[in-house]
Structure 1
Amino acid sequence: MEKHLLLLYCCKSYPTTKRNRQMQTQYINEWLDIPELKIHQLLSIHDDEVHIEALPLDDKQICPCCDSDQAVIRKGSNGMRTVRHLSVFEKKTYLHVPTIRMFCSNCEAGFVWAYDFVGPKQRYSRLFRSHTVEQALGSTAAHGARIQQAPASTVQRMHNEAVPALCDALYKQVWEEAKETAELVLGVDDFAIKKGHTYNTGIHNLKGETMLDLLPGRKLEALRAYAQAHPEFLRLDPKAVVMDLAQAYHTWISECFPKAIRIADRFHVHGYVIESVQEVRKTVQPTLSPRAKTYLKANHRLLNPPAESLSEESAKKLDTMLNYSPLLRSMWEWKEAFTTWYDCSPNYTVAKLGFERWCTQGDQIDHAAVQSALKTMRNWQEEIVNYHQCRWTNATVEGRHNRIKAFQRRHYFTRNRSRYKAGILIECNRHRMLSY
């Protein structure tokens, strides 16, 4: 902020004395923070543009052929090169630097002065490009173009050029962290590209809060093919792996990591119980009076969350609904008992006994939805109770899926698979870019 104020000061109209010109260039040098350049003069200041002439500090450069500057001489200039730099006060900033011709008498090679702050034959500085790419990562090219006052095609091209290298660096970093993490906990879950048709599977480091990889499909054949093609995945040593109740995932993990604790994700398990509560509600609803039926239908979502999370007004509405039917009340109490079992079981042994008591409580409810849910719970009893050996869930993974869906909507489901994968990995690991 101080540098911006200094630039604002120097951009005002002052008498063009030699002393004032020196003050202006001094402040602009501080703002630009480009050590290889010194500001020669302000060329022009318009409503939306600032043009600055800058010169290199050194007299000569090392020859790219012989790596020596002993025999290098200047041989004139091909004119001025215009480079777009970071904007200030919503003004586009342009640096005008000379394209100096150099000649090395040792190897008789001619070359042009190379600037570190901008790439060869590029019209945008490295800082401008990196800042533009950073803004475009969490947004769209059109939005980044409006902020930077640059063409959308230019922003898109900068984004596409930066993504592969950025993805490779992030990919390497998150995998190194996973290998070094003690008692690593992995999360495996799928998300839809086209719901009901095409899916991807994500592998996540729950402790490190990073996404490790993305593989196409969710069937067992695709999972096994990934493990064979990526030996670094098999070299991981996770303490536990959190998954939903898909049999393919549990079979795959038991083959890859037989010593790991397989945990059924609490969010998905709880979903089966809530679904059975709503099935009972749909059965009870037609038997009520029109007024009670309307009231129950309008407030049916109050049956899902824990009672302690409801406000006083919502708790009163819930109590009114439960008074409509003893079956609905016993079903809701069974659901609440499951939440209490998850939250209050102190260890694995107590949790196993509590789970059996909860199943016995459910056996007393005479409803097909309850019996179906109990059948699923008993089939996956070990994986569900394993939560109390290692209390991890895929909650962060579900949040990451929301970011992935937003990415897919912004990029209209990119057809290029490698670019699509790189974009998702960057989107999910963007917080790690701060360490670069």
Structure 2
Amino acid sequence: MGSLFGVNGKKLQRQYRDYLSEFKDWEQKGHAKQWLVFPENMGPYLSIDETALSKGELYTIITNKKAKGKKGSIVAIFSGTKVEPIIEQLMKIPTKKRARVKEITLDMANSMKTIAKKCFPKAVQVTDRFHVQKLALEALQDIRIKHRWDAIDLENEQIKRAKEKNRAFVPKEFSNGDTRKQLLARSRYLLYKSPNNWTPNQSERSKILFSEYPDIKLAFDLVQGLRHIFNTATTIEVAYTKLAHWYKDVENTGFRAFKTIANTIALNYRSILNYFINRSTNASAESFNAKIKAFRVQFRGVRNTEFFLFRDQSQKLCVN
């Protein structure tokens, strides 16, 4: 826009920041880089999550679920994930206001749980189901990746032997045209989906993959089983029973990564089971994080964190 009118863009931005906007007189400017708190945006249902604003630097963000990632979403933003500074600022919010929080969704990080317990003592803590499922999906993908590296090593060895014999190497193809290496690489996305959402090509590829690698099929079934519990269990009691059966299935497979997940679920079972009270997730927090990232892209990164947060506010993302 600046070049259109023959104005230096950086100079125009600087003039806007320092003189045209109200940034210079912003009351929260002095501590904006460390924390921002908007008590007026408090509600009975909150989410706490972390996101990166720039250069991978993490910020802890508490949002009001009712706002659904829109106007009035942000309750607080804190630089970093250290517990003590966050608790210090949140405790400045009146006790009665904090006591009205009924539920807060979070991941399985102990820091998040400590913040929630200390600052919102009457709130039910709910572990986000998608964080649990993500762990299972990562364990499944790790098995696939291990097989892929083995396939790459095998193909490299076959190419080497072919060269030694002055022969052209022609890799074996499966019925769908994939080589072994391609089969494992191209199966990545279908493993994230439920079978009823596969395309015909993905369905054909899955049959070959599971036939060649029964352990991937076994791990895939565990992931689908966990997803099925979250989708179908209607009460805490039913979910508890189904998770116990899933835990036994994991032990029978002998998969180390899945056993770690099962133990993690066992250690966090109370907050995980709380999901089945209202079926609450961190979706609103993720939605807001996506808006922040889009805003960051729009302004080509974050050079001045305080001004970025001020613009967030002026764009009505933060406050009522």
> Shorter-chain TM-score: what band?
0.7 to 0.9
Map of 2:168 onto structure 1 = none
Cα separation, 1, equivalents of 2:96 and 2:109: 20
Are the equivalent residues in 2 in contact too, given 1:178–1:236 (CA < 8 A)? no
1:397 has 2:282 as partner: no
Task: Give 1:202's aligned amino acid.
Answer: I
Question: How far is 1:236 from its partner?
Answer: 5.2
Distance 1:211 1:318 in 2: 43
Residue 45 of structure 2: aligned partner: 185
Match of 1:200 in 2: 59
C-alpha separation in 1, matches of 2:256 and 2:316 = 41
For the aligned residues, what is the CA RMSD? Answer: 3.1
Q: Shift in Å at residue 204 of structure 1? A: 0.4
CA distance in 2, matches of 1:176, 1:406: 25
Q: Given that residues 187 and 243 in structure 1 are in contact (C-alpha distance below 8 angstroms), is that contact kept between their aligned partners in structure 2?
A: yes
Counterpart position of 1:55: none
Q: SS where residue 414 of structure 1 aligns?
A: coil
- 1:246 matched to 2:109? The reply is yes
Instruction: Report what 2:236 is aligned to.
Output: 348
TM-score w.r.t. length of structure 2 = 0.75
Aligned to 1:266: 129
Give the 3 Å change call, closer, same or farther, for CA 300–412 of structure 1 in structure 2.
closer
Given that 2:105 and 2:127 are in contact with CA atoms closer than 8 Å, whether structure 1 keeps it comes out as yes
Q: Which runs of 5+ in 1 are unaligned?
A: 1-141, 169-173
Flag the 1:331–1:428 CA change in 2: closer, same or farther, 3 A.
farther
Residues 49 and 61 of structure 2 are in contact (CA less than 8 Å); yes or no, is this contact kept in structure 1?
A: yes
Pick the structure with greater CA Rg.
Answer: 1
**Percent identity over the alignment?**
19
Aligned partner of 2:161 in structure 1 is none
- State the distance in 1 between where 2:216 and 2:58 align: 36
- 1:131-150 mapped onto 2 (5 Å cutoff): 142=1, 145=2
The answer to whether the 8 Å contact 2:195/2:203 transfers is yes
State the 1:379 CA deviation: 1.3
Give the Cα separation in 2 of the matches to 1:364 and 1:157: 66
Task: Kindly state the Cα deviation for residue 345 of structure 1 after the two structures are TM-superposed.
Answer: 0.8
Q: Are residues 156 and 245 of structure 1, via their aligned partners in 2, closer, same or farther at CA, if it must alter by over 3 Å? A: same
- The residue aligned with 1:324 is 212
Residue 416 of structure 1: how far off its partner (Å): 5.4
Change (3 A) 1:177 1:214: closer
CA contact (8 A) 1:359 1:374 kept: yes
Write the mapping of 1:113-152 to structure 2, written as runs, cut at 5 A: 142=1, 145=2, 151=7, 152=9
Q: 1:426 to 1:201 in 2, by over 3 A?
A: farther
Contact 2:99 2:121 in 1 (8 A): no
Q: CA offsets, 1:298-354, max 9 Å, x none?
A: 322221122233223222222221221221111101100111111111122211111
Inter-CA distance 415–281: structure 2 relative to 1 (3 Å threshold): same
Q: Match for 1:415 among 304, 311, 317?
A: 304
Secondary structure of residue in 2 paired with 1:201: strand
State the TM-score, normalized to the length of structure 1.
Answer: 0.57
1:373 and 2:261 aligned:
yes
CA contact (8 A) 2:101 2:120 kept: yes
More strand by proportion, 1 or 2? 1
Q: State the one-letter code of the partner of 1:192.
A: A
Note if 1:218 corresponds to 2:81: yes
Q: CA separation in 2, counterparts of 1:275 and 1:411?
A: 31
Runs of 4+ in 1 over 6 A off after TM superposition: 165-168
Cα gap change, 1:155 to 1:293, in 2 (>3 Å): closer
Residues 227 and 297 of structure 1: is their aligned pair in 2 closer, same or farther, counting only changes over 3 Å?
A: same
1:282 maps to what in 2? 145
Aligned twin of 1:293: 181
Structure 2: distance between partners of 1:228 and 1:176: 15
Matching residue of 1:312: 200
Gaps of 5+ in 2: 29-37, 156-178
- Render the CA deviation track for 1:87-108: whole Å, top value 9, x for unaligned: xxxxxxxxxxxxxxxxxxxxxx
Please identify which structure carries the higher helix content.
2
C-alpha separation in 2, matches of 1:416 and 1:267: 29
Structure of higher RCO (CA pairs closer than 8 Å, 6+ residues apart): 2
How far apart, in 2, do the equivalents of 1:366 and 1:299 lie? 23
